[in-house]
Amino acid sequence: MGDVFPTIRAAVVQAASVLYDREKTLEKAVSLIEEAAGQGAELVAFSESFLPGYPYHLWLSAPVWYQDLFKEWFLNGVEIPSKTTDVLCDAARANEIDVVMGVNERDGKTCYNTLVFINRRGQLLGKHRKIMPTHAERAHWGVGDGSNIRTWDYDNYRLSGLLCWEHSMDLMRHAMIAQRPQIHVASWVGGGAMALWDDIFEMTSELCSRYHAHVGDCFVLKVDGALDQAGYEKLCQTEYQQDKIKLGGGNSAIIAPGGKFLAGPLKDDEGILYADLDLNAIADWVHLHDAVGHNARPDLLSLLINTNEYHVTQPMAGFSNTRFQSLSINGGQVSNPADLLADIERLSADLANIRLAIQEKTLIST
The whole-angstrom separation of Cα 186 and Cα 166 is 9
Phi, psi of 249 (to 5 degrees): 105, -15
Active site residue 71: no
CA distances from 263 to 10, 92, 220 (A): 10, 23, 11
Round to whole Å and give the CA distance between 93 and 87.
Answer: 10
Q: Which contiguous run of DSSP H or E holds residue 266?
A: strand 261-267
Annotated catalytic residue 208: no
Q: Catalytic: which of 42, 105, 111, 164?
A: 164
Q: What is the DSSP string of 207-222?
A: HHHHHHHHHHTSEEEE
DSSP-derived secondary structure letter, 139: G
Distance CA 366, CA 350 (A): 25
Q: Single out the catalytic residue among 28, 127, 130, 234.
A: 130
Contact of 227 with 49, CB cutoff 8 Å:
no
Active site residue 236: no
Catalytic residue, chosen from 28, 42, 48, 222, is 48
At residue 226, φ and ψ (nearest 5 deg) are -150, 160
Sign of CA dihedral 288, 294, 296, 300: negative
296 Cβ contact partners less than 8 Å away, ≥ 6 residues apart: 290
Please identify every residue annotated as catalytic: 48, 130, 164
